[in-house]
A and B are shown apart, each in its own frame.
Chain A
Amino acid sequence: MYWEPEAETMEREELEQLQLERLEATLNRVHMNVPFYRRKFDALGIDTDDIRSIGDIRKLPFTTKNDLRENYPYGLFAVPLREVVRIHASSGTTGMSTVVGYTKNDIKTWANLVARVLTAGGITKDDVIQIAFGYGLFTGGFGIHYGAERVGASVIPISSGNTARQIKIMQDFKTTALICTPSYALLIADTIMEMGISVNSLSLKYGLFGAEPWSEAMRKEIQDKLKIVATDNYGLSEVIGPGVAGECLERNGLHINEDNFLVEIINPETLEPVPPGETGELVITTLTKEAFPVIRFRTRDLTRLISSPCPCGRKLMRMHRVMGRTDDMLIIKGVNVFPSQIEHVLFDIEGTEPHYQIIVDRKGAMDDVTVKVEVSEPIFFDEMKKQNELMDLIKRRLASELGIGVNVKLVEKKSIERSEGKAKRVIDLRKI
């Protein structure tokens, strides 16, 4: 099932022509309408007329989150405010928020792209969709909402929070699809079990999760606990919001809406493109946005591109699920550590819960890492010996995965604070 079969199954040659047309038009517009880009290009002696192929994009400078902050609030808009019909702002978990705008056409485009992602994830007009993403300035709620309406599904705009109510509505309204962050999906799943509700009594079939990195093991757990097909989707407010990429039911990488977004993978340190298929930072250029186009935006998300054909028939290239962020990459004792690596290890160990926290501190001159892990009840109340065995096992596995030694602390189930939005996995207490 495709939402826009023509675009989703377009041959590469045709797609590249379309990308080039749209890239050139976008560059002409930003040069004309956004002083920030014009000044930047001029300062570097770049004539946008010299961008004549998709590969030429490498001649252009990157745009960073910091550029967006410095132009707060409307500095990077490419149209006058009276043509903007919607304003969103990034969640701003790390620092000042950034503001983005949409024209009428942008809202239409956005709804369509989200509709593609939803359709790829199994959603049809017959579904009852519970959107447990926050509504408001965050793009997640409204982004999915408009796409779901476009598909023609019945939308429950419940927003995030109040888990007991989420579950009651899920039961009463016969929700067939749940949309939220993966960590919140797990919280809902656990709460359902605690409340003694049988998952079989629910109508849930599909779950589309995004807005934070998660793992294959976490998918398995969500699918098992909620008895659904869970797919990953990707987006960010600086680019458009949800709708940038999404998995099909093959669940083996996220199809990028390449006719609307030009992607590159770069080495975050050298800023050079990585060899095809290798992991690096995702960089995105918008090809159709009117109000808020971005040129070579550094997402800080780490992924790799999968160019092999997908059995679903979509010709849009896939990206691997986001493996971590370049900026929450922890450098511990000189070693790059991603929280997702730790998560991966924990999932494979019997007796642990998928809730953990990484606390980084400095003892003297040395980095010191403690991983707090929730354990399942049966083990916790058993004798010390079993606890120590588990602790040692986790330590050993983490040491072999990360290449550094870490402390492990087992904590009671539910003792790590649950989040209704993005889970806070890392607490860095180091003062540099």
Chain B
Amino acid sequence: MLKIKNLESGYGKLRVLRRVTMHVAQGEIVTIIGANGAGKTTLLSTISGLLKPSAGEIAFDKQDISSTPAEKVVFLGCSLVPEGRQVFSSMTVKENLVLGAYVHYRRNKRDRVKTGIEKVYGLFPILKEREKQLAGTLSGGEQQMLAIGRALMAEPRLIMMDEPSMGLAPLIVKNIFSIIVKLREEGNTVLLVEQNAKAALGIADRGYVLETGRIILQGTAEDLLLNKDVQRAYLGRDLDTETTL
């Protein structure tokens, strides 16, 4: 579904992604794990068209999108749930969702907006309860649900999420992640960027480890969980202490 070859990207003269090759197949949850500054957000921003790559290929459903502007990428069926939710705080929950359905509005399929909202409310009942509340008054977890719901309104075939667990209490993280699994069960494809490697690998099919703009490891989530580098660097296990015990 998504195929990336030798992608290079960054900000101005700063080259963040050195050479990234990866893919996401239909129906998969694929996670990109890596430390702060590894280039995870840059990768998602580049795929979604917010940044223009300096080299490399991005193909979405065999169509080259490496120089497609962000709004067109959404039209093609690839939506981003940005880092830090980025909900419109001074608008209501419902208004936020309606904005997510901009593609339907443009295509004169306004009935799809209504069914979309119903669907999101089905997935996150709490959002229905808060329908008329301003998004800024929601808790962090609720805002994350709203951000996911907003992305779903465009009925994407690939949904990309940037650090959905950030700043959330463990119980909420668990909740959010179980929703990601549910999304996949409903036939969605998910590309998940996470610092919380353990949680991400717990639900993903496959994963890539990004380090200073390069992929150093790739494999099934199961294999990555067994890898000692991953354990040391991202799962917080101190192997040196363990071996001296």
Contact = CB atoms under 8 A, between A and B. Distances in A.
A288 B216 contact: no
A71 interface: no
Contacts of B227: 103, 105, 290
A20 B214 CA distance: 13
A28 B3 contact: no
Interface in B211-245: 211, 214-219, 223, 226-229, 239, 243
A427 interface: no
A79 interface: yes
Interface in A15-62: 17-18, 20-22, 24-25, 28-29, 32, 49, 52
Please classify the interface of chain A as helix (H, G, I), strand (E, B), loop, or mixed, using the class held by over half of its residues.
helix
B214 to A, nearest CB: 5
Contacts of A165: none
Contacts of B184: none
A82 interface: yes
A295 to B, nearest CB: 15
Given A20-B21, A52-B6, A104 B226 contact: yes
B22 interface: yes
Contact of A21 (B18, B215, B226): B215
Interface in A232-267: none
A108 interface: yes
A54 to B, nearest CB: 11
Contacts of A17: 3, 5, 21, 23
B112 interface: no
B6 A25 contact: no
A329 B44 CA distance: 54
A103 B228 contact: yes
Contacts of A79: 228-229
B219 A288 contact: yes
A401 interface: no
A49 B218 contact: no
B19 interface: yes
B96 to A, nearest CB: 36
Nearest to B243: A82
Contacts of A18: 23
Contacts of B214: 24, 28, 49
A22 B218 contact: yes
B18 A105 contact: no
A290 B219 CA distance: 11
Interface string B16-29: 00110111000000
A290 B218 CA distance: 11
Contacts of B21: 17, 20-21, 24
Contacts of A272: none
Interface string A369-380: 000000000000
A79 B227 CA distance: 11
A21 B6 contact: no
Contacts of A83: 228
A32 B217 CA distance: 12
Interface string A289-331: 0100000000000000000000000000000000000000000
A21 B22 contact: yes
B89 to A, nearest CB: 39
A103 B229 CA distance: 11
Given A49-B18, A82-B239, A105-B227, A21 B23 contact: yes
Contact of A25 (B23, B216, B239): B216
Contacts of B18: 49
Interface string A332-352: 000000000000000000000
A104 B229 CA distance: 12
B216 A105 contact: no
A49 B19 contact: yes
Interface string B200-220: 000000001001001111110
Contacts of A32: 216
Contacts of B215: 21, 24-25, 28
A32 B214 CA distance: 11
A80 to B, nearest CB: 8
Given A49-B18, A103-B227, 10 more contacts: A20-B21, A21-B21, A21-B23, A25-B215, A49-B214, A52-B19, A79-B228, A82-B243, A105-B223, A290-B227
Interface of B: 3, 5-6, 18-19, 21-23, 208, 211, 214-219, 223, 226-229, 239, 243
18 contacts: A17-B3, A17-B5, A17-B21, A21-B21, A21-B218, A24-B6, A24-B215, A25-B215, A25-B216, A28-B215, A29-B217, A32-B216, A52-B5, A52-B6, A79-B229, A105-B219, A108-B226, A288-B219
